[in-house]
Amino acid sequence: MQTGLVVDNGARYYYAANGKQAYGQQSVGGHWYLFDQANDGKAKTGFTQIKDQNKTVYYNGAGQMQYGQQNIGGHWYNFDKVTGKMSTGFTYLKDQSKTVYYNAQGQMQYGWQELNKAKYYFDKWNGAMAKGLQTIANAKYLFGNDGKMQTGQRNIGDYWYNFDQVTGKMSTGFTHLKDQAKTVYYNAQGQMQYGQQNVGGHWYLFDKVTGAMKTGFQYIADQHKTVYYNQDGQMLYGFQKIGGATYYFDPALGTQAVGQKHIKGHWYYFDAKKGMATGLTYLPDQKKVVYYNNQGQMQYGQQVLNGVTYYFDLVTGEQLKDNVAYNRKTGQINYYGKDGKQAHGMINLAGKTYDFTKGYLQGQGLVTVKGQTFLLNGNKVVTGQQRLNNHWYYFSLTSGKMATGLTYLPDQKKTVYYNDQGQMLYGQQNVGGHWYLFDNVTGAMKTGLQWIASQNKTVYYAANGQMQYGWQNVNGHRYFFNFGTGAQASAEIVNINGHFYAFDSRGNGHDFNELNALVNRLGTNIAVAIQSQKSGQIYAYSNSGNMRFQMASTVKVGVLAELLHNKGGNLTATERRLAERMIRNSDNAATTNLINYHLWEGGNPVGRLYRDLQMWSTTPRPAWGTTLTTPTDQLKLLYQIYLTNNSSYLNRASQDYLKGLMHTVNSSQRWGISAGSGDYYLKNGWMTAGWSDNGPWVVNSIGFIPNNGHGYTIAIYSVNNPLYTGINKVEQVARKISQMLK
């Protein structure tokens, strides 16, 4: 007897425990089967509708009911995990966290689907129902949480978007919202834009609240300008005809022109509301009447309007009233009355009567009318340069008026100056508080660096001809010009606002910090002082504070100076012999002799000179070489010898005698301040500062460097170096100063 599941010839049957064949749904071995009584009890396979349970199920080839997702014949189906019922319609697949859609045949659907008059989209690969913002075939769409495609305006993340009412596609670019009667603009991300936007090379303006595209005149507050947008919303530029009036908008910014505007060589006037002016127009800000032609361009000179002749200034365009003007075409002078119209007859102007009976001024020679001077010949105006009574005059080619003041002559490409009488002036002239220079022959205004021989100075005139002062950049060089005289600083020392500079003969400035740095680098005690022959300015620097130095043989210049002072320059033969040995050969015995027996100052050598010249930092000592001094004090003595022609201490003969000796010192003693210079006057001093010749040395050098007529006195004192090291250091300082002033 057969029981249970029996396979016979590929078909499955089921027999109960009593051996009887069973039919209908049977659970066998944990699987549900359906045995068809109408088909000999064979187990069903494939899709099967179970009417009494109102469901369609699926049995596999073994007749077993299937559950969950099944791929059958290339389609995905879903069967209830408990009942096996085939899903149709929207179905949420919990294990895959997605909602899908199965048609009436239970097949999963993909792509666009229209269901109950709503559009949905299901992923092409997994069938998942789309929600939120999605990109499909390069277009964006919005779906609700229920999967329905959304249309119209939507606010997402504080941005407004729009989705087409028919296709559902997200809008980008310009979009007309019919229900709100406005055009708006969405960027590439679909977000509505506001304010100014540049789209396709055109500027547009969108309302900051509604996003509506603006047209017509619009004021942009943050840029303080009014612009104009055409019916397409594009900002317009240049001349535009709007509502029967002509307006002008800046070619770059679109700003509406208001008031006077210079465009391509012509002046125009634009009223904010009425647009471009034509005809006679009053300009309130300039308080003048001008004339614009039909193209809105300001007109000049003589103009005939409705049969009446008027005149408009050739430069400003202002209508002429109660004045005369030169008519270049006729070469005549015409008068225009208080109403601006050309007048005829005998006319009294400022108490003088002029003949305008023929409509033009009749006269000969220089004629002044209403403060304007003309040159008439045969009743016609003579223009250009004219020589009258040995003076050059100039009469304007355009206005006919006699020129005064600075005037450019285009045919000669020069600027000249005419005084109030119209006569050309030459040389230096002060015009309006500024100094100018005009060529002594041609009268041409000078510019650039100019030598004023009569004042022995070089000055600088800017491109406008005005003398310049202070620091100036000239052809890539930085020069200084005196704040008062304009003289270029050269070969001199100048104190500029508390800072010292040395200028060489070419005018190049050198900061004295350069010298200070050198003195500091040299280390041992060094001090230097210089006085400029040209400026009189003194500069001093010491790396040892207020330290005073032993004079050594530099004291000998003072010895001879006091002797010459006492004798009025009339030395005896003995005194001259001693003086020459003392200065030229640095003879110490001769020095002691002169101090003790000719100055009678053995206990206070040269003390009277130091007192008379107020050299208060110099202290005499009986051992005269140990006298203490400073370089600045020594400049007071050198000044009396070299820098003045009216010395209060030495007469001219005494000065010359001292100079001659200091100019001819022994060749072995010509080191020191001579370094870097080809011509010099000097006296050096050197002695040991200790108790032996091997100890540190005092090395000093004082004198005068002529420097081609722009010389300087100089004193350099040093101590605590070996002799030749001291000489080398003194010469380094002297050479640096020579470089700065040469």
Specify the pLDDT at position 163.
96
Same fold, 4-86 and 404-488: yes
Q: Give the per-residue pLDDT at 694.
A: 67
Nearest to 614 by CA among 634, 598, 600: 634
Mean pLDDT of all residues in 355-384: 94
Give the model's confidence band at 46: pLDDT under 50 very low, under 70 low, under 90 confident, else very high: very high
Q: What would the pLDDT profile of 715-740 be if each residue is shown by its tens digit?
A: 999 999 999 999 999 999 999 999 99
**What are the boundaries of each domain within the chain?**
4-86, 404-488, 503-553+626-741
Structure tokens at 139: 């277009």
Contact 445, 436 (CB under 8 A): yes
* Residue 438 confidence (pLDDT): 99
Task: Quote the CA–CA distance of 256 and 244 in Å, as a whole number.
Answer: 16
DSSP state of 35: E
Strands 202-206 and 195-199: antiparallel
Residue 708: pLDDT band by 50, 70, 90 thresholds? Answer: confident
What is the domain class of 4-86 according to CATH? mainly beta
- Angle, helices 555-567/588-597, rounded to nearest 10 degrees: 40
Average pLDDT over residues 255-268: 97
Length of the chain, please?
742
DSSP state string for 286-332:
TTEEEEE-TTS-B--EEEEETTEEEEE-TTT-PBP-SEEEEETTTTE
Alpha-carbon gap, residue 440 to 445, rounded angstroms: 10
Shortest CA distance to 335 belongs to which of 315, 316, 364, 355? 355
53 pLDDT higher than 80: yes
Residues 6+ apart with CB under 8 A from 667: none
Q: Percent helix, strand and coil across the chain, each rounded to 5?
A: 15, 40, 40
Reply yes or no on whether the pLDDT at 382 is more than 60.
yes
- In the predicted structure, residue 237 carries a pLDDT above the cut 80: yes
Q: Taking the CB of residue 143, how many other CB atoms lie within 10 A of it?
A: 21
CA pseudo-torsion sign 553, 555, 558, 563: negative
Q: Decide yes or no: CATH 2.10.270.10 for domain 404-488.
A: yes
Proportion of the chain above pLDDT 70, given as a percent? 99
Q: Which CATH number fits domain 503-553+626-741: 3.40.50.1400, 3.30.10.20, 1.10.10.1590, 3.40.710.10?
A: 3.40.710.10
Q: Check pLDDT > 90 for residue 509.
A: yes
Structure tokens at 396: 């304007």
Kindly give the interhelix angle for 631-638 and 555-567, rounded to the nearest 10 degrees: 30
State the pLDDT at residue 691. 55
For the chain, the average pLDDT equals 96
Q: What pLDDT was estimated at residue 671?
A: 98
Q: Is the per-residue pLDDT at 17 higher than 90?
A: no
In angstroms, the CA 85 to CA 75 distance is: 16
Q: Pick from 135, 111, 113: which is nearest to 125 by CA?
A: 111
Whether 238 shows a pLDDT value over 80: the answer reads: yes
421-433 residue pLDDT tens: 999 999 999 999 9
In the chain, the percentage of residues whose pLDDT exceeds 90 is 94
Across the strands, what pairs with 585? none
Rounded average pLDDT over 635-641: 99
**Residue 35: is its pLDDT beyond 70?**
yes
DSSP for 680-738? -EEEEEEEESSSSTTS-EEEEEEEEE-TTT--EEEEEEEEEE-HHHHHHHHHHHHHHHH
pLDDT number for residue 140: 96
pLDDT of residue 19: 87
With a cut of 90, say whether residue 347 has pLDDT above it. Answer: yes
How many other β-carbons are positioned within 10 Å of the β-carbon of residue 691?
A: 7
pLDDT at 102: 97
The conformation of residue 157, written as its DSSP 8-state character, comes to T
Q: Looking at residue 690, what is its pLDDT?
A: 66
Distance from C-alpha of 80 to C-alpha of 67, rounded to nearest angstrom: 6
| DSSP per-residue codes, 321-375 | -SEEEEETTTTEEEEE-TTS-B--EEEEETTEEEEETTSS----EEEEETTEEEE
Structure tokens, 69: 């997702």
Task: Identify the three-state secondary structure at position 146.
Answer: coil
Please report the pLDDT score of residue 8 as a whole number: 85
Among candidates 505, 508, 557, 498, which has minimal Cα distance to 701? 557
Residue 354, CA distances (Å) to 17, 325, 357, 373 in order: 153, 14, 9, 14
**Average confidence (pLDDT) over 549-569:** 98
Q: What angle do CA 686, 691, 693 make, to 5 degrees?
A: 50
Is 264 buried (19+), middle (13-18) or exposed (0-12) by CB count in 10 A?
exposed
Which residue, 89, 71, 178, 186, is CA-closest to 139? Answer: 186
Mean pLDDT, residues 334-345 taken together: 96
Instruction: Write down the pTM of the prediction.
Output: 0.62
pLDDT for residue 733: 98
Least confident of 19-23, 353-357, 554-558: 19-23
| 150-203 tens-digit pLDDT | 999 999 999 999 999 999 999 999 999 999 999 999 999 999 999 999 999 999
pLDDT band at 693 (very low <50, low <70, confident <90, very high): low
What was the pLDDT predicted at 492?
97
- Of 406, 388, 408, give the one whose Cα is nearest residue 398: 408
